[in-house]
Amino acid sequence: MKILLVEDDRLLAQEIARALREENFAVDVAANGEDGQHLGETESYDAAVLDLGLPKVPGIEVLRGWRKHDRHLPVLILTARDGWTDKVDGFKAGADDYLTKPFRTEELVMRLRALVRRASGHSAPRISCGPLSFETQTGVFELDGLPLKLTALEWRVLECLVLRKDTVVERSLLSEKVYEGDVGTDSNSIEVIVARLRRKIGKALIETERGRGYKLNSGSR
C-alpha cells in the first residue's frame, strides 16, 4: 500500500510517516500544497492523508484539483479545526474521511486501511485466496491459519495482489505501489520479490502473465 502524506508540520509528518512505515506502508511526503497537488496528479497512490491548513495551496484546493483531474484515490483530511463547516467543505470537495488534530496514529492507520479496502471493492475485512487470508484491518496475512512472516517489500506486493485477486496486476503498477519516491527500479526487482513470495505461499497461487504482470489466484495453491 502506498500513501501520499501532505502535511506541513515537520514533526507530525515524521510521526505519521514512521507509524505508516512500521505497518509496511510505502509513504511519499509533501510539505506544502503545491508539491502535494503535483504528486497526487502525477503519481499512483492507494490513498492520501491531506492536511487542510497548508502553505502555498490550501488543502481544500489541492483536493478540488485532484478531483478535477479525475484522481479518485481515497482522501482522509486532517484539520486542527473542529468546526462542522470545515468538515462539510472537505466532504463537498471530495474527501472520504477526516480526523481532527490531535489524533492517535493507530486510528489513522485503521481508517486508511478501511478506505483502501472499500475502494478496492471489498466490503468484508477478511479477504481469502485459498489457503491464504488477509485481515485488512490489522494487515496480517495468514497461510493455513498461521501468521505469515513477510518483509516490508513482500507485504506490499502481496497486499497489492490480494486486493486485486484474480486480476492481472501490471509490473509497472506493482513498482509504483511498492517503492517510495522515484527510485528507478526495474521489473527484475519485482520478480525477485515474487519469487520469494512463491517460496512462502506456494507457486500456484501467484500466476505470471508474460509481458504484463502477476495474478493472485483465489482457488489454488
CATH classification of the domain holding 100? 3.40.50.2300
Residue 157's nearest CA partner among 124, 105, 200, 119 is 200
Helices and strands (H, E) in the chain, number of each type: 8, 12
Cα–Cα separations (whole angstroms), residue 34 to 48, 68, 97: 15, 15, 22
Instruction: Look up the domain containing 75 and give its range.
Output: 2-119
Task: Take residue 22 and report the three cell numbers written for it.
Answer: 512500521
How many domains does the chain fold into?
Answer: 2
User: What residue has cell string 502555498?
Assistant: 56
- Residue 217 burial (10 A CB sphere; 0-12, 13-18, 19+): middle
At 158, which CATH number?
1.10.10.10
Residue range 26-62, pLDDT digits in tens: 999 999 999 999 999 999 999 999 999 999 999 999 9
Query: DSSP E strands: which ranges in the chain?
Result: 2-6, 26-30, 47-51, 75-79, 97-100, 126-129, 132-135, 140-143, 146-147, 169-170, 206-209, 213-216
Same domain as 13, residue 101: yes
Strands 140-143 and 146-147: antiparallel
Closest by CA position to 40, among listed 96, 68, 48: 48
Distance between terminal CA atoms of the chain?
24
pLDDT in tens, 95-146: 999 999 889 999 999 999 999 999 988 878 899 998 999 999 899 999 999 9
- Alpha helices (runs of H) in 69-170, residue ranges in sequence order: 84-93, 105-119, 152-162
User: C-alpha grid cell for residue 59?
Assistant: 488543502
| Residue 150 backbone dihedrals phi, psi, to 5 degrees | -130, 150
Mean pLDDT of the chain: 91
Average pLDDT over residues 151-161: 94
Same domain, 108 and 25: yes
Last residue of a domain, one of 119, 135, 165: 119
Q: What is the pLDDT of residue 183?
A: 55
Q: Which of 63, 89, 119 is the last residue of a domain?
A: 119
pLDDT category at 221 given cuts 50, 70, 90 is very low
* pLDDT digit string, tens, across residues 200-220: 999 999 999 998 999 999 865
Residue 171 in this model has a pLDDT that exceeds 60: yes
Distance CA 147, CA 118 (A): 24
Percent of the chain scored above 70 by pLDDT? 94
